[in-house]
Amino acid sequence: MKIYTFNASDNNRVEILSPLRPKNRDQIFHNFIAETEYTEVNSIQECDVAIYPNRAYNPETLVFDNLVFDAAEKADKYSKPLIIDATSDSDEFLNIPTASILRCGLYKSLKNPFEVECDIRS
């Protein structure tokens, strides 16, 4: 699978990028990361999937990263699937229906079709 990461840093903390960026990986996710072959590409036009390299909400402060909208626009422009990590304690609605948004603890009545609930049970 070819992945575009919007130039993610080497110590990236977005868990879905852990196979590509293992430095500082949170060990709680170690057992859940599938061993598979990923190739990082430098151009969004060449990728199979794009992954936004930052969490949409800072886990400590819940401050929203507005650059996520630029990434969604770029992925949409090239018709590429985009994955956004919005796992946090925020229950604020993130309206980007063109992306797959990873969330934890979604209220079932508020879940949108483009949101995916994370399940980290052992």
Angle at 72 between CA 82 and CA 34, to 5 degrees: 20
What local confidence, expressed as pLDDT, does residue 122 receive? 37
Q: What is the DSSP string of 31-96?
A: GGS-----EE-S-GGG-SEEE-SS-SB-TTT--B-THHHHHHHHHHHTT--EEEE--SS-------
Residue 94 is encoded by which pair of tokens? 């993130």
What integer pLDDT is reported at residue 11 of this predicted model?
A: 73
pLDDT in tens, the chain (122 residues): 899 999 888 777 676 776 676 666 656 555 555 556 778 899 999 999 999 988 898 878 889 999 999 999 999 999 999 999 888 777 777 889 899 888 765 555 566 665 565 554 43
Buried-exposed string 41-74: b where 16+ CB fall within 10 A, e elsewhere: eeebeebebbbbbbbbbeeeeeebbeebeebbee
Handedness of CA 21, 22, 23, 24 (dihedral sign): positive
CA distance 79 to 77: 6
- How much is the pTM? 0.74
Taking the domains of the chain in order of start, what are their residue ranges? 2-117
